[in-house]
A = this chain, B = another copy of it.
Amino acid sequence: MTDHSVKPKSVKKVVLAYSGGLDTSVILKWLQTEYGAEVVTFTADLGQGEELGPARKKAELLGIKPENIFIEDLREEFVRDYVFPMFRANALYEGIYLLGTSIARPLIGKRQIEIAEAVGADAVCHGATGKGNDQVRFELTYYALKPDIKVIAPWREWSLTSRTKLIEFAEKHQIPIAKDKRGEAPFSVDANLLHSSSEGKVLEDPAIEPHTDVFQRTVSPEDAPDKPTIIEVGFEKGDAVSIDGVAMSPATILTKLNALGKENGIGRVDLVENRFVGMKSRGIYETPGGTILYAAHRAIESITLDRGAGHLKDELMPKYAELVYYGFWYSPEREMLQAAIDKSQEHVCGTVRLKLYKGNVIVIGRSSPASLYSQDLVTFEDDMGAYDQKDAQGFIKLNALRLRTLAMRKRKLGK
């Protein structure tokens, strides 16, 4: 009945990315019953805003041995080693999406593999569906870090293809079902410290505006305060290091920016994007802190980054964002691009002043000890010889030379 990709019985011990929710609890049990495998659960706090205590309890209830339950707070690692490097690149997928879901998968996958090696597991398992990008992101990570790992993707394998069958399976195996989980959720949610995403079902028609209930971590611009909030974000080497002069850890900064963004209605995006697996999908994203951070980083770069470096970064960015979105975090080409980007960030430091107001992030000032902005050069006033306007003529003449040559050819050929 079940068309396994990895043969049952062939797996001894499997590390499951476990949220404690109904779906991954069913997977847990299914791994025990179908594969006869010893299950190790891994539950990570990436800032999704749920307590982890219940996940431990539920795992125990489902028969997982205490030494097989891994629960970890990865928020600092997530922001420091994944979110911040990505923001150095000003990464936007398809011009808009700040990659909040994409960037979390490589970290979860990496920890699963590390745990698998620590406990001697021969397989890993995730709860992503067969239509989405997350399956790719998880599995590319697994294979890149442990090439002989066995991968179990229940949603591509099993026969529990409807909500009804899932609930039946849960009931049959005494898996507790929260009341509000009996029915179908009206849409699907993913969340971490960078963003929350909502998609599917009632959100599937891109012609229809999402109901306000969809939004979880931002008030609407309309409901945001009538008075702007002014903040200052400090940067070192391209990373945010302080808010209003107070130094904070990466996760603390993002948490704080999330709170500021939330109350000012910042970071909502409603878009249709192209999945790596080939179809278009519609997503509603809320990235309050990330949206502020993106604007602030661009602003501090605007005075500290050389034009050549900045334009090269802009040209490389779409490729970088595509790699992160597609799941190629652990690929040589992403690492090459990161090396180039990081090289550019040495002097990206200073302070950006921002006005947050009803959905807007407005840059109102930037300053830096490493500023390349020179009032002497640019001034309309007397510049004391910093710039010789005569130079512009030669500059233009030589830039024009090839265009003039083309024009002479056109004239000569009569077209």
Which A residues are closer than 8 A to B by beta carbons? 3, 5, 90, 94-96, 129-131, 135-136, 139-140, 143-148, 153, 155-156, 161-162, 188, 200-201, 204-209, 221-222, 226, 228, 268, 270-275, 277-282, 298-299, 302-303, 306-315, 317-319, 322, 328, 330-333, 335-337, 339-344, 347, 353, 355, 357-360, 362-367, 369-375, 377-382, 387-409, 411, 413
Contact = CB atoms under 8 A, between A and B. Distances in A.
Contacts of A96: 298
A275 B90 CA distance: 21
In the complex, the 6 A-B pairs of residues with the closest C-beta atoms, listed nearest first: A394-B394, A130-B389, A278-B401, A274-B307, A391-B394, A147-B404
Copies of this protein in the complex: 4
A307 B279 CA distance: 9
Contact of A391 (B209, B388, B397): B397
Given A358-B360, A402-B307, A404-B147, A375 B139 contact: no
Contacts of A5: 393
Contacts of A357: 221-222, 358-359
Nearest to A307: B274
Nearest to A365: B207
A106 B393 CA distance: 18
Nearest to A280: B373
Contacts of A204: 375, 378-380
B315 A315 contact: yes
A62 to B, nearest CB: 25
Contact of A95 (B90, B209, B309): B90
